[in-house]
Structure 1
């Protein structure tokens, strides 16, 4: 799910999209057949300067003097073309993943695009390149990603550096 505009997504919005996406995927494909990743992290603090709107409020508040405000939420800054939600699943469940992303997309403001990547999982390798390197035993697993062992040097030296 890619964004089409510059925006700030609140932490509540990201959580609502994650719940909608996860609920649909769990119901349709089962909990062991997918992996969801929420890319933007809500680190911007949103603040509010509360103003009174009752009679005599002008004597109780200072207006815009000392108007830094109190924190009331967090938001993530999302840029044009940035990934918001990634789902890694098997090829037979691509239609279900698209539907889950469509449901999550409705929680976001602005315009989002659902894309199917040609890369294998969360790695930066294309599927045919990944299978070729795996058969040659030139991949090292690091959780959800992999590292490619280059032809220079030995495997022991590579693993010492990592």
Structure 2
């Protein structure tokens, strides 16, 4: 079908931009962002002076369906005829201290690798735990928290007395 005269396309009612809430992060973008952040952190904080964990994982598989369009079949057409296609890649669904200035810069650089709008939020938690910074040291001193890898285990003041005696003796 041919184009209509230009005067028909001069004033468009709605913009043709894709909505940012439907943007998905591709696994290659996750890897590129992690490499970008790692390079900057090694340069500023040293090789062993930081720890980065990327918690997002691409589970959603996207598919492509190739269709032969004519009798000679010298060209392939991609479309959505039929329910299933071949897997093409994986995507991840996204929702919108001393080294503090060194940490925000690699994250700012890494956010350009992702589609959509990204925001950098500085947490008030201690490392990868769910406890606030001001409470954490007091809880460790009172032995409510037990170090466990890069996290901690919460040990409340209730339960069998044998565990309490073993911990405080």
TM-score between the two structures when normalised by the length of structure 2: 0.74
Higher relative contact order (CA 8 A, sep 6+): 1
* Higher share in strand: 1
Can you list the C-alpha shifts for 1:98-149, whole angstroms capped at 9, x where unaligned? 0010010010111111111111101011111001111212211221111221
Distance 1:73 1:131, change over 3 A: same
The two structures, once aligned, show a CA RMSD in angstroms of 2.8
Q: What SS class does the counterpart of residue 21 from structure 1 fall into?
A: helix
**Residue 156 in 1 paired to residue 169 in 2?**
no
Which sections of structure 2, spanning at least 5 residues, go unmatched? Answer: 1-19
Q: Is the 8 A contact 1:7 1:79 kept in 2?
A: no
**Residue 36 in 1 paired to residue 42 in 2?**
no
The structure having more radius of gyration, on CA atoms, is: 2
Q: Provide the C-alpha distance between the structure 1 equivalents of 2:58 and 2:154, rounded to a whole number of angstroms.
A: 32
Alignment size in residue pairs: 144
More displaced 10-residue stretch of structure 1: 137-146 or 40-49: 137-146
Residue in 2 that maps onto 1:84: none
Residue in 2 that maps onto 1:15: 31
Runs of 4+ in 1 over 6 A off after TM superposition: none
Which sections of structure 1, spanning at least 5 residues, go unmatched? Answer: 81-90
Q: Provide the C-alpha distance between the structure 1 equivalents of 2:66 and 2:115, rounded to a whole number of angstroms.
A: 25
TM-score between the two structures when normalised by the length of structure 1: 0.77
Q: Provide the C-alpha distance between the structure 2 equivalents of 1:24 and 1:55, rounded to a whole number of angstroms.
A: 54
